Structure 1
Amino acid sequence: MTRSFADRHIGPDAAEVARLLDVTGVASLDALAAAALPADILDGGGLDVLPPAAGEHEVLAELAELAAANTVATSMIGLGYYDTLTPPVLLRNLLENPAWYTAYTPYQPEISQGRLEALLNFQTMVCDLTGMEVANASMLDEATAAAEAMTLLHRASRSKSSRVLVDADVFPQTHTVLATRAEPLGLEIVVADLSSGELPDGDFFGVLVQTPGASGRIVDWTGLVAAAHQRGALVAAGVDLLAATLVTPPGEQGADVCFGTTQRFGVPMGFGGPHAGYLAVRTAHARQLPGRLVGVSVDADGAPAYRLALQTREQHIRRERATSNICTAQVLLAIVAAMYASYHGADGLRAIARRVHGHAAALAAGLGAAVVHGSFFDTVLAHVPGGADAVLDKARSRGINLRRVDADHVAVACDEATTGAHIAAVLESFGAAAESGGEPVEIETRGTAYLTHPAFTRYHTETGMLRYLRALSDKDIALDRSMIPLGSCTMKLNATAEMEPITWPGFARLHPYAPAADAAGTLRLIADLEGWLCAITGYDAVSLQPNAGSQGEYAGLLAIRRYHLDRGDTHRDTCLIPSSAHGTNAASAAMAGLRVEVVRCRENGDVDLDDLRAKIGDHAERLACIMITYPSTHGVYEHEVAELCALVHDAGGQVYVDGANLNALVGLARPGRFGGDVSHLNLHKTFCIPHGGGGPGVGPVAVRSHLAAYLPGDPLVTGSHAVSAAHNGSASILPITWAYIRMMGADGLRRATLTAIASANYIARRLDEHFPVLYTGEHGMVAHECILDLRAITKRTGVTVDDVAKRLADYGFHAPTMSFPVAGTLMVEPTESENLAELDEFCDAMIAIRREIDQVGSGVWPADDNPLRGAPHTAESLVGAWDHPYSREVAVYPRGVAHTRAKVWPPVRRIDGAFGDRNLVCSCPPVEAYAD
């Protein structure tokens, strides 16, 4: 019998599903749906409009046709997007390697040391090249990094002003995203030409500039920074990191914050993303830095060890008072960029930069008096009165895309892929002749050393880089080694056939601002995906622009806010949020200019409808919306969800349904039909885009028809309320989701959902007597995840969820989600991808751990020295004296050496988080440390 793609994606076969259902106590998957979900929201899923399921090779052929429908012209458009040459050793062994792309966010640092080291390299690279002291572990893109920089300046500045000054030569897409972010926060943007170094009159809390600017112009910002500081304002500067290998960066000119993108460091343009933005600050502002920050601490044996520092899950703790709603990053792309810098080293990057600048200088020499700016790096702005369109047409006939600034100006950007032939063709398009023997304009003013750490000096050969990448990935647990049973995070199979097309040039080498005709295939794929996602969710329109779930939340709330404002309901500014909600919900609401009011939950975890009615009564005139997660954050299908939605609608509010748990709804129920007005969807969860160690992600926002006009617009159009730098966000990874839906078909998608629910209920039944399941629905069912309650166990024995999580590493497993949404619990989500054998392995490991806990509780092992408190155990810990009351074998082979599961050796012991926060080190030590 030929197995379909769905048969291979879904782990349990028919016999195993029968076993899951038998233990759960239902006769069939349909009976499971009827028992778990409220009858009034079950609607068959609306999947009949999807095309029939297709096989892997058929779908790859269809995607090849779509890629071929794109025109990969030579892009010389620039504006922060450049062609780049990804070293094949990085393409094969990092970007295409499941050991890297299937990893999860490093919240379990002991089994994430490889990607944490790579991210520390990224932070060091950014600090070195910008001249700053602290950098985070990546942002979503350059425009959103600029927006985060703006709000950071506002928080950190002592100025009482609400005005920020932005240089006119900042990228236009950045201007749009800044304006979107500023408006709901009550910030006023003042745009001016700051190239003279003089500030306009008035007070400002901050100043944003860029080098090189959108026009290519390079400005020394030293004087402007000094003038801003004198006026009490802080300064943020966008920095092109390749230019910074030659040009003195703003960090060395006194800037307080630097932002930008690392796209041109080996990450394809991909029609807009994903790319790793960055944000770097002075040490004084380190605790204001949004996003993730990798720091150095020590483990239980005193050895250096990496971990996330300071801001880890900040928004889950501080909620609406968080510095940002960002809870993800662009880890996989940040690691590509860091390894690109490591592979080339400082000398290699300088050589690339000189070649890029040399081509720009040759172009300028040929254009002569038409060149507008005398100081530039890679982009030449030419004045061609009334002739811009003709020049673009001529260049396009030669297979080259230039940038039309206006009717009188054309900009030409050179990059790593630019050749002398390209320059000659561009000059012909301008009607100019190439200058023979033209000397590059001297811009090499940077005098400071950079990238001197061994991470950037050791791996310049392919053998060295290959072994470095392998050594790092061996320190991690990803989906290629083990089930990752994380509740709320849906770590499921990312099939090879889904991943293969993302590196094809037809998708990867498109500039996001290329003529639409060049992207015909990708735009067709996007239209398909928008239609399919609308059908699956029951909504009427969708935008794929948000490049993370946090951005999708934000875009959805902005749509609600603008809807109320357009109706004259300016007073509607209150967002109701259940106490169980994701912390990002509250942070997103605050960013959208909404007031957060918390709604209580009942003891069973459901939203307390009595408290909801009271809150609606208290805020009836001000009610803007409610944000709920469905199934709930507690992993239960709340049976009163339709009534909840109706209560809010009757009061004039809108209903935001967080799509984080859509994996439990696809093919069964649609939020756009049971009461939702808007949802964001996590394509990196339900729809198989891999997590990549904490990014990339895609968080589309889907709405009912009355909100469609308020979806994010074109970032190149002023006033379009764009939330990301590219109109279609992280377009290069959308083929993953397209392929998943195309290969699964309606029946496969529905079966996947039901199998995920069956697997979660199986685990709940098997583990309930050992670790009580905290919340269940009306018929004793959970949704796609279950919460195991360890609070009583901890009180009785002293063994904590941290102890269990670390001990699981000794058993070869990644831990479930710890202490969210309830402190002292573990939230488990098996997904549909794990077969019965793997589910049983996990359950058996948890049951064995419970027996170990019982030995602690009975006094066989002391509370402060037992296999759980000592976990995880490294190979090195076995060497030398052993003074523990448990044996070495129990430490590292808890189920016996004959157990067939492959042994995972954690590279470090348990890490001291508090030490790392007290002694913050978040970049590689200077080379002098190695000399000492």
Structure 2
Amino acid sequence: MTTFPSRHIGPDADEQAQMLKAIGYASVDELMDAAIPEVIRWHGTLDLPAAATEEETIAELRAIASGNQLSTSMLGLGYYGTFTPAVIRRNVLENPAWYTAYTPYQPEISQGRLEALLNFQTMVTDLTGLTTANASMLDEGTAVAEAMTLARRASKVKSPVYVVDADTLPQTLAILRTRAEPLGIELRLVDLDAGDPLPDAYFGLHLQYPGASGAVRDHAALVSAAHAAGALVTVAADLLALTLLRAPGEIGADIAAGTTQRFGVPLGFGGPHAGYLAVRAGLERSLPGRLVGVSRDADGAPAYRLALQTREQHIRREKATSNICTAQVLLAVMASMYAVYHGPDGLRDIARRTHDRALSVAGGLAAAGVEVAHAAFFDTVTAVVPGRAASVVAAAAERGVDLRLVDDDRVSVACDETTTEAHVATVLAAFGAAAAGAFASGLDALARRSTYLTHPVFRAHRSETAMLRYLRRLSDRDYALDRGMIPLGSCTMKLNATTEMEPVSWPEFANIHPYAPASRTAGYEALVAQLEGWLAEITGYDAVSVQPNAGSQGELAGLLAIRGYHRSRGEAHRDVCLIPSSAHGTNAASAVMAGMRVVVVACDDAGNVDLPDLSAKITAHADRLAAIMVTYPSTHGVYERGIAELCAQVHDAGGQVYVDGANLNALVGYAKPGRFGADVSHLNLHKTFCIPHGGGGPGVGPVAVRAHLAEFLPGDPLEPGEHHAVSAAAHGSAGILPISWAYLRMMGPDGLAAATGTAVLAANYVAARLAGHYPVLYAGNRGLVAHECILDLRPITKATGVSVDDVAKRLIDYGFHAPTMSFPVAGTLMVEPTESEDLAELDRFCDAMIAIREEIAAVGEGRWPRDDNPLVHAPHTAAAVTADEWDHAYPRSVAGFPAGVDRTAKYWPPVRRIDGAYGDRNLVCSCPSPEAFEE
């Protein structure tokens, strides 16, 4: 019987034998024994359940899901019921053309998702009344935290005080506290209803609109007062409410932040959801995260790209201002398409219907003599019921409706797109009210007068036929794993099996509110506990939290755990974090955000951490040493032999060892960071554990620790205590955890180890095949690499003028996504083939790279001019190749159908090479008019 591991792992036994022969090893185990230093090698078998079949796994997940009790959630607090249009669910959320795509760093083959993200940015700027929005954030709480630090950078006020509306969402307050304390920011809560005065000096003001209580307030005077004090104002605004309410930008707000969850994105027990962040003119170059802009291609045609070098825009080592290195692209695409599907009129109708339901609740309560706390509200009604709030909530729960218990005297009722008249009647019955009644809307004075979503894209796709074709047209412009190999180093783009993906859409996982009563979420709690236990076993740690909803947030959570540990021991002065020069920029950025000082450790000529320099840095900072952050295998793709000595040196000096888990795909089943000296790691479920990249998100970055750090793991943001929270929900992006659970369940201990061995085999096979054509920059024992290899193009570029960019773009003509460019070393390509690509695809890639090397030789030998060859003009579009005139030094056939390309399955990029510098000089970050695309 065919097993799941044999479907997940690309090369079969015969193909693996061929690959082993090519690199000179008799077996995968012999290869791994040679590659992995014995000092860290683990020879046991993972204590995990034996592999289950796909059918057994689905049955087990069905049983787990049945522990989640579906109810009518009227809890609100930034999470609402919504209807995902079926055409969007099937053709975006459940479509591998969208969910297996990578971050659009190669824009020529990402035009579809870039257009969708430009729609997202336009939607956000229109609704908030601001000029520029980024391409999504992780959730509302972290978006608001980024707004706070943006205001700190941009304000000229020296005061460390940040004023926060007391009616802010409680989970957002928890994240603000987490982020503020290490940075020396002082939060000051003000009760606007009580008329609390603003302090004399403060750098920023945060307002919630509508408030957590549901109250809608006129903030115009507060905005003016803040500006008079030199402070910047952030408004956390509900986008659906903004279809009816005056936009923050219209009263002078500087920043708007929030979530787009209620635009068709399922609750998912807290995520993943696309947060948003928008700014007024003048702040766009301080905006963290990714920003899609409009540039032009080699023919002068408009083309989309990530603008302002946003891959690392704010990730600048010790000068970092943000560690955001990801977004929530798949969910942002869904939210933007929800707006495209409904259009401005449809969104306004949904908002009016939601508001009308809330008015009916308020009217029924008032008629029954129940006090309604606020005259002006959008969707949330707070009822004052002295001493009987708990009994009302219990009565509603018995009727299948969850209401929010605010305190002993108040109950909150949140309406949404899914609320019906029957739900209203049920809620009123729980209060002892007879029937719905009339209630005057208090929103008239704050009603929106301005237009929004006026671009034709939000009006052109009213029928499902038109919508379906639009989604297909965009996905056809992109390159994703459903087309072919994406050999990105450090990013592990491997199979995201359909069986793993299916449960994400089940209502029992998709439609659970993150703050639902514990009696309704037993299934999720069981799944999380099991997954955390399995991850602890795999990594050798004692405790795991899945709360961080991205790798960057896992890094921050791990460093905060180290910080908390040192403080608990009376060593708060320990604030130095050692980071190798090869590290990903988020490492240093996370350290800065955790209140640490970055000290860079050199790497030697072989790419390893320079142990003498490490010793010198430890000696220089021994009394203040907090931690070292290292990636293992190294960022250079090598199993460093000095890792155990490194850990020992840091521990001897009183520091903690953080091992970045980005490259865990080369360790699972063969080595455990928690056993070879590390104290904490973050893991990337969107890499090693098969959650798909989704075009640049969602991700999950669990943090794993040894026992002495366990008490410092992130805690539930709604639970009181000294713990910190890094995401707005206790289990972060819980809605996609079934993917990794299913992967582990179907692979079993033997399958996981086999996947690791095959990944290392594939990387060494590619390195061996290409070594005679491109130098492999770094290697470890016996010349072996780990799960990725770095090809050094610098000598080739010096000799021929052909750049790493030229090779990357030429690979598009051959039908490939390029490997990682110029990281961690400028002028190189980092290749990670993963275990999921079979030998035919590995050879197709190697053949393409060898053919490109021959093309480079033609340039170097003068057979093609340096300024007119298929590399410098790549990629070639169908329009370019079929143009009436062709005046190049090479034939059309070489341009469009290079050696080995299947003419019946050719991928044609929609645009030619994009001019990045032009786009940065002429920043356009919302949908251009259709006329811009006219020839």
The equivalent residue for 2:588 is 586
The equivalent residue for 2:280 is 282
Give 1:387 shift: 0.6
For residues 395 and 931 of structure 1, what CA distance do their matches in structure 2 show? 57
* Matching of residues 627-706 of structure 1 within 5 Å: 627-706=629-708
2:142 is equivalent to residue 139 of structure 1:
no
Give 1:447 shift: 0.7
The equivalent residue for 1:800 is 803
CA 815–45 in structure 1, closer or farther in 2 if over 3 Å, else same:
farther
For residues 45 and 791 of structure 1, what CA distance do their matches in structure 2 show? 42
Give 1:198 shift: 6.9
* Matching of residues 48-59 of structure 1 within 5 Å: 49-59=47-57
Tell me the SS of whatever aligns to 2:571.
coil
CA 592–446 in structure 1, closer or farther in 2 if over 3 Å, else same:
same
For residues 195 and 294 of structure 2, what CA distance do their matches in structure 1 show? 39
Tell me the SS of whatever aligns to 2:316.
helix
Deviations 1:175-223 (A, max 9, x none): 0000000000000000011357874232100000010000000011111
Give 1:315 shift: 5.6
Identify the match of residue 897 of structure 2 among 893, 898, 902.
Answer: 893
The equivalent residue for 2:156 is 158
The equivalent residue for 1:118 is 116
The equivalent residue for 2:509 is 507
The equivalent residue for 2:717 is 715
Deviates more, 1:862-871 or 1:186-195: 186-195
In the alignment, is the contact (CA less than 8 A) between 1:485 and 1:814 conserved in 2?
yes
For residues 643 and 933 of structure 2, what CA distance do their matches in structure 1 show? 60
2:602 is equivalent to residue 600 of structure 1:
yes
Give 1:323 shift: 2.4
Identify the match of residue 784 of structure 1 among 775, 784, 787.
Answer: 787
In the alignment, is the contact (CA less than 8 A) between 2:425 and 2:436 conserved in 1?
no
Give 1:322 shift: 2.6
CA 165–147 in structure 1, closer or farther in 2 if over 3 Å, else same:
same
Deviations 1:55-113 (A, max 9, x none): 10110011111111110110000000001000000000110000000000000000000
* Matching of residues 808-847 of structure 1 within 5 Å: 808-847=811-850
In the alignment, is the contact (CA less than 8 A) between 1:176 and 1:720 conserved in 2?
no
CA 317–788 in structure 1, closer or farther in 2 if over 3 Å, else same:
farther
Tell me the SS of whatever aligns to 1:247.
coil
For residues 732 and 273 of structure 1, what CA distance do their matches in structure 2 show? 6
For residues 399 and 633 of structure 2, what CA distance do their matches in structure 1 show? 54
For residues 743 and 312 of structure 2, what CA distance do their matches in structure 1 show? 33
For residues 165 and 622 of structure 1, what CA distance do their matches in structure 2 show? 32
The equivalent residue for 2:168 is 170
Tell me the SS of whatever aligns to 2:283.
helix
For residues 120 and 195 of structure 1, what CA distance do their matches in structure 2 show? 38
Tell me the SS of whatever aligns to 1:636.
coil
CA 195–909 in structure 1, closer or farther in 2 if over 3 Å, else same:
farther
The equivalent residue for 1:263 is 261
Give 1:925 shift: 2.7
The equivalent residue for 1:552 is 554
Tell me the SS of whatever aligns to 1:284.
coil
CA 928–838 in structure 1, closer or farther in 2 if over 3 Å, else same:
closer
For residues 889 and 638 of structure 1, what CA distance do their matches in structure 2 show? 45
Give 1:311 shift: 4.2
Letter in 1 for 2:415: C
Give 1:929 shift: 7.0
For residues 315 and 776 of structure 1, what CA distance do their matches in structure 2 show? 30
The equivalent residue for 2:915 is 912
The equivalent residue for 1:864 is 867
Give 1:16 shift: 0.5
CA 910–930 in structure 1, closer or farther in 2 if over 3 Å, else same:
closer
Tell me the SS of whatever aligns to 2:905.
coil
In the alignment, is the contact (CA less than 8 A) between 2:190 and 2:196 conserved in 1?
no
How many residue pairs are counted as aligned between the two chains? 929
The equivalent residue for 2:37 is 38
Give 1:253 shift: 1.1
For residues 156 and 314 of structure 2, what CA distance do their matches in structure 1 show? 27
Letter in 2 for 1:446: R
Tell me the SS of whatever aligns to 1:601.
coil
CA RMSD of aligned residues (A): 1.4
The alignment's TM-score, normalised by the length of structure 2, stands at 0.98
Identity of aligned residues (%): 69
Deviations 1:303-362 (A, max 9, x none): 000000114222686222132101000000000000000000000000000000000000
In the alignment, is the contact (CA less than 8 A) between 2:495 and 2:836 conserved in 1?
yes
For residues 443 and 235 of structure 2, what CA distance do their matches in structure 1 show? 23
Tell me the SS of whatever aligns to 1:455.
helix
For residues 161 and 375 of structure 2, what CA distance do their matches in structure 1 show? 32
The equivalent residue for 2:490 is 488
Tell me the SS of whatever aligns to 2:541.
coil
The alignment's TM-score, normalised by the length of structure 1, stands at 0.98
For residues 8 and 509 of structure 1, what CA distance do their matches in structure 2 show? 31
CA 930–29 in structure 1, closer or farther in 2 if over 3 Å, else same:
closer
Letter in 2 for 1:895: A
Give 1:440 shift: 5.2
In the alignment, is the contact (CA less than 8 A) between 1:574 and 1:597 conserved in 2?
yes
In the alignment, is the contact (CA less than 8 A) between 2:128 and 2:248 conserved in 1?
yes
2:296 is equivalent to residue 298 of structure 1:
yes
Give 1:441 shift: 5.2
The equivalent residue for 2:415 is 414
Tell me the SS of whatever aligns to 2:202.
coil
Give 1:778 shift: 1.9
Deviations 1:821-876 (A, max 9, x none): 00000000000000000000000000000000000000011111110000000011
For residues 421 and 933 of structure 2, what CA distance do their matches in structure 1 show? 42
For residues 854 and 201 of structure 1, what CA distance do their matches in structure 2 show? 68
Letter in 2 for 1:697: G
Tell me the SS of whatever aligns to 2:844.
helix
Deviates more, 1:609-618 or 1:436-445: 436-445
The equivalent residue for 1:425 is 426
Identify the match of residue 222 of structure 1 among 179, 196, 220.
Answer: 220
Deviates more, 1:197-206 or 1:319-328: 197-206
For residues 723 and 222 of structure 1, what CA distance do their matches in structure 2 show? 31
Deviations 1:678-715 (A, max 9, x none): 00000000000000000000000000000000000110
Tell me the SS of whatever aligns to 1:451.
coil
Tell me the SS of whatever aligns to 2:526.
helix
CA 194–45 in structure 1, closer or farther in 2 if over 3 Å, else same:
farther
Structure 2 stretches lacking a partner, 5+ long: none
In the alignment, is the contact (CA less than 8 A) between 2:770 and 2:850 conserved in 1?
yes
For residues 317 and 181 of structure 1, what CA distance do their matches in structure 2 show? 16
* Matching of residues 54-203 of structure 1 within 5 Å: 54-195=52-193, 199-203=197-201
The equivalent residue for 1:882 is 886
The equivalent residue for 1:460 is 462
Deviations 1:349-383 (A, max 9, x none): 00000000000000000111510000000000000
Tell me the SS of whatever aligns to 2:780.
coil
Give 1:302 shift: 0.1
Deviations 1:875-895 (A, max 9, x none): 111212111101111000011
Tell me the SS of whatever aligns to 1:314.
coil
In the alignment, is the contact (CA less than 8 A) between 2:301 and 2:933 conserved in 1?
no
In the alignment, is the contact (CA less than 8 A) between 1:110 and 1:910 conserved in 2?
yes
In the alignment, is the contact (CA less than 8 A) between 1:197 and 1:223 conserved in 2?
no
The equivalent residue for 2:750 is 747
Identify the match of residue 451 of structure 1 among 450, 453, 457.
Answer: 453
Give 1:809 shift: 0.3
Structure 1 stretches lacking a partner, 5+ long: none
CA 121–88 in structure 1, closer or farther in 2 if over 3 Å, else same:
same
For residues 777 and 878 of structure 2, what CA distance do their matches in structure 1 show? 36
Deviations 1:660-684 (A, max 9, x none): 0000000000000001100000000
